[in-house]
Amino acid sequence: MAIWNLGSINADMVYTMSHLPVAGETLAANGLDQFLGGKGANMSVAAARAGSVVHHIGAIGPEGDWAVERLMEYGVDTRHIATLDLPTGHAIIAVDQAGENQIILFPGANRSIPADQVGQALSMAHAGDIVVLQNETNMQVETAKMAQALGLKVAYAAAPFEAEAVRLILPYLDLLFLNEVEAKQLQQATGKSADALGVADVIVTLGAKGARHYTSTSDEASEVAALPVTPIDTTGAGDTFTGYVLSGLDRGLPMPQAMGLAARAAALMVTRHGTADVIPDLKEVQNAHF
* Long-range contacts at 279-284 (CB < 8 A, ≥ 24 apart): 279/42, 279/45, 279/46, 279/49, 279/236, 279/240, 279/243, 280/49, 280/240, 281/49, 281/50, 282/49, 282/50, 282/51
According to CB under 6 A, which one of 2, 3, 6, 10 is a site residue for ligand RIB?
Answer: 10
**CB of 242 or CB of 247, closer to ligand RIB:** 242
275 touches ligand RIB (CB under 6 A): yes
Of 125-133, 179-187, 221-229, 231-239, the window that binds ligand RIB (rule: CB under 6 A) is 231-239
Minimum separation from the CB atom of position 272 to ligand RIB (A): 13
Cα three-residue angle 100-133-48, rounded to 5 degrees: 80
Q: How many residues bind ligand RIB (CB under 6 A)?
A: 15
Minimum separation from the CB atom of position 177 to ligand RIB (A): 12
88 touches ligand RIB (CB under 6 A): no
Extended strands (E) in the chain: 2-6, 10-16, 31-37, 53-60, 77-83, 89-95, 101-106, 130-134, 153-157, 175-179, 201-205, 211-215, 222-224
According to CB under 6 A, which one of 5, 7, 15, 42 is a site residue for ligand RIB?
Answer: 42
Q: How many CB atoms lie within 10 A of CB 244?
A: 31
**CB of 247 or CB of 275, closer to ligand RIB:** 275
Of 80-88, 201-209, 232-240, 263-271, the window that binds ligand RIB (rule: CB under 6 A) is 232-240
**CB of 205 or CB of 275, closer to ligand RIB:** 275
**CB of 152 or CB of 246, closer to ligand RIB:** 246
Determine the Cα–Cα distance for residues 147 and 69; give it in Å rounded to an integer. Answer: 27
- As to burial, measured by CB atoms within 10 angstroms (0-12 exposed, 13-18 middle, 19+ buried), residue 16 is middle
Determine the Cα–Cα distance for residues 65 and 85; give it in Å rounded to an integer. Answer: 13
247 touches ligand RIB (CB under 6 A): no
Minimum separation from the CB atom of position 208 to ligand RIB (A): 17
C-beta nearest to ligand RIB: residue: 37
Binding region for ligand RIB (CB under 6 A): 8, 10, 12, 37-39, 42, 91, 103, 105, 136, 235-236, 239, 275
